Chain A
Amino acid sequence: MSHVRVLAGTRKGAFILSSDGKRQKWDVAGPFFGGWEIYHLKGSPADPNRLYASQTSGWFGQQLQRSDDGGKTWTPVGNKFVYDGTPGTHMWYDGTPHPWEFKRVWHLEPSVHDPDTAYAGAEDAALFKTTDGGATWQELPGLRNHGTGAKWQPGAGGLCLHTIILDPNNSKRMVIAISAAGAFRSDDAGASWKPINRGLVSKYIPDPHAEVGHCVHHIAMHPSRPDTLFMQKHWDVMRSDNAGDEWTRVSGNLPTDFGFVIDVHAHEPETIYVVPIKSDSEHYPMDGQLRVFRSRSGGHDWEPLTKGLPQTNCYVNVLRDAMAVDTLDQCGVYFGTTGGQVYASSDAGDTWHSIVHDLPPVLSVEVQTLS
């Protein structure tokens, strides 16, 4: 019988939440790496027992942890992330050049095919790759050096590469996103890159239509339609049907289109989920009501999903990597909040319940569907 494993990264450690296919009763394991910030942990599609975790600390820097038994035990692997060559500068908040400095890994994306291969998205924005199970990491420098890197400016959370999407049908195609530089695509396995921000409009930057400088919060893709991408930008929910070459706004009837997360139903490529947040100044849901919005038409038309979610006095946030879907027949949807709740729906969002509700602030949520 299938079961699921939810991987939650929090400000003070990692937690692994397990359930059978009914997804009603949960076992909670953790904290792993207690006291450390776990920005992200993710399992290998090629070997579900292989997990990678990004463990960071303002005191002691970056660690990368690996598990080969589904998270029961962990081993520290390589933590040396060195920019290729002379790193140069990006733009600082005040517009002056600022040296590239590695701070942490925000996102880990294991290869679809090889458990020893994974990608790491770093702050300051860069993409690293391992082919030896995390023992060593090498930068893919074509991203920073493709031409616009010197213009990249950090968002409020830092100059972070937070989204990595691997095309399951084309091993040479990758899409990444950086706050606040925008989205970029490689069609040659990461050797060269180009900005894919045409159609994004950001009123808060000097040129709202600029080639780079957009604060992309997250991008999601359905594996059966890799050319269709859904984006939650700082403001605006966007979609592209040509792998990012052009974007159109699909915010439609959302009450606010500021937010961080976005994800796609496992079996319905036009069903997408967002959690609208009041504004860029007030990072909590509108009116104290935690509502997931679902569109069954790939955007434009949205319905609020509230059953089982707090509808009064709720002022949490849902961060960019904190939503995931499982692939069971009845698609499960999961998200974590800065209030320490992890919510689950086993009916594609119609109803929700909290798996746990008193964790440290949740930074990331991933789910593995296991047989």
Chain B
Amino acid sequence: MTHHVRVELPQHLRTLAGVKYEVSLDVNGDVTPRNILDTLEASYPVLAGTMRDHVTGKRRPFVRFFACGSDWSLEPTDTRLPDDIASGREPFLIVGAIAGG
């Protein structure tokens, strides 16, 4: 089954990908953080390596994921996201963590 998922990117990744505030993705199968990122990177190859390590696949420390008001950054990446994400009612948020002085 294909889900139309909305993803919000932080400014620097929007610039890299050459997109505006939000992108729409057709995600096949379960809507999980991993599946969204796989689809996002397939659609915008320049984003590969920016959100998770090329080799280990681990999330970069200062990149966070939010869905429906909750922080999903530490959840297993194959966990199904809420229906509101899968249906496109709510965007999946990829956020550059507030860090620094």
Q: Which residues of A are in contact with B by a Cβ distance under 8 Å?
A: 35-36, 57-63, 76, 79-82
Q: Do residues B13 and A60 form an inter-chain contact, with CB atoms below 8 A?
A: yes
* Chain A CB within 8 A of B99 CB: yes
Chain A residues with CB under 8 A of B12:
35-36, 57, 59-60
Q: Do residues A76 and B16 form an inter-chain contact, with CB atoms below 8 A?
A: yes
Q: Do residues A60 and B48 form an inter-chain contact, with CB atoms below 8 A?
A: no
**A63 CA to B53 CA in the complex, in Å?**
13
* Chain A CB within 8 A of B51 CB: yes
Which residue of A is nearest B62, CB measured?
A59
Q: Do residues B97 and A59 form an inter-chain contact, with CB atoms below 8 A?
A: yes
- Assuming the contacts A36-B12, A76-B16, asked whether A60 and B54 have C-beta atoms less than 8 A apart, the reply is no
Which listed residue (A60, A63, A76, A80) contacts B51, Cβ 8 A?
Answer: A60
Q: Is the interface of B mostly helix, strand, loop or mixed?
A: loop
Q: Do residues A60 and B46 form an inter-chain contact, with CB atoms below 8 A?
A: no
Which residue of B is nearest A57, CB measured?
B12
Q: Do residues B60 and A79 form an inter-chain contact, with CB atoms below 8 A?
A: no
**A240 CA to B31 CA in the complex, in Å?**
61
Q: What does the 1/0 interface line of B7-45 toward A look like (CB < 8 Å)? A: 000111100100000000000000000000000000000
Task: Give B13 Cβ to nearest chain A Cβ, in Å.
Answer: 6
Q: Do residues B63 and A80 form an inter-chain contact, with CB atoms below 8 A?
A: no
Chain A residues with CB under 8 A of B16:
60, 63, 76
Q: Do residues B99 and A82 form an inter-chain contact, with CB atoms below 8 A?
A: no
* Chain A CB within 8 A of B82 CB: no
**A35 CA to B10 CA in the complex, in Å?**
12
Q: Do residues A59 and B96 form an inter-chain contact, with CB atoms below 8 A?
A: yes
Can you add 14 more A-B contacts, CB < 8 Å, to A60-B63, A61-B53?
A35-B12, A58-B62, A59-B12, A59-B63, A59-B96, A63-B50, A76-B16, A76-B46, A79-B48, A79-B50, A79-B54, A80-B48, A80-B54, A81-B54
**A81 CA to B54 CA in the complex, in Å?**
8
* Chain A CB within 8 A of B55 CB: yes
Task: Give A31 Cβ to nearest chain B Cβ, in Å.
Answer: 12
Q: What does the 1/0 interface line of B76-101 toward A look like (CB < 8 Å)? A: 00000000000000000000110100
- Assuming the contacts A76-B46, A79-B49, A80-B49, asked whether A59 and B60 have C-beta atoms less than 8 A apart, the reply is yes
* Chain A to chain B contacts (Cβ below 8 Å), 29 pairs: A35-B11, A57-B12, A58-B62, A58-B99, A59-B10, A59-B12, A59-B60, A59-B63, A59-B96, A59-B99, A60-B12, A60-B16, A60-B51, A60-B60, A60-B96, A61-B50, A61-B53, A61-B60, A62-B49, A63-B16, A63-B46, A63-B50, A76-B46, A79-B49, A79-B54, A80-B48, A81-B54, A82-B54, A82-B55
Task: Give B39 Cβ to nearest chain A Cβ, in Å.
Answer: 18
Q: Which residues of B are in contact with A by a Cβ distance under 8 Å?
A: 10-13, 16, 46, 48-51, 53-55, 60, 62-63, 96-97, 99
Which residue of B is nearest A80, CB measured?
B54
Q: Is the interface of A mostly helix, strand, loop or mixed?
A: loop
Which residue of A is nearest B56, CB measured?
A101
Which residue of A is nearest B46, CB measured?
A76
**A59 CA to B50 CA in the complex, in Å?**
8
Which residue of A is nearest B95, CB measured?
A59
**A71 CA to B39 CA in the complex, in Å?**
31
Chain B residues with CB under 8 A of A60:
12-13, 16, 50-51, 60, 63, 96
Chain B residues with CB under 8 A of A76:
16, 46
Point out which of A58, A60, A79, A82 has the most chain B C-beta atoms below 10 A from its C-beta.
Answer: A60
Which residue of B is nearest A75, CB measured?
B46
Which residue of B is nearest A77, CB measured?
B46
Chain B residues with CB under 8 A of A58:
62, 99
**A35 CA to B16 CA in the complex, in Å?**
12
Point out which of A35, A36, A61, A81 has the most chain B C-beta atoms below 10 A from its C-beta.
Answer: A61
Chain A residues with CB under 8 A of B46:
63, 76
Chain B residues with CB under 8 A of A80:
48-49, 54
Chain A residues with CB under 8 A of B99:
58-59
**A57 CA to B55 CA in the complex, in Å?**
18
Which residue of A is nearest B96, CB measured?
A59
Chain A residues with CB under 8 A of B11:
35
Chain B residues with CB under 8 A of A36:
12
Task: Give B94 Cβ to nearest chain A Cβ, in Å.
Answer: 10
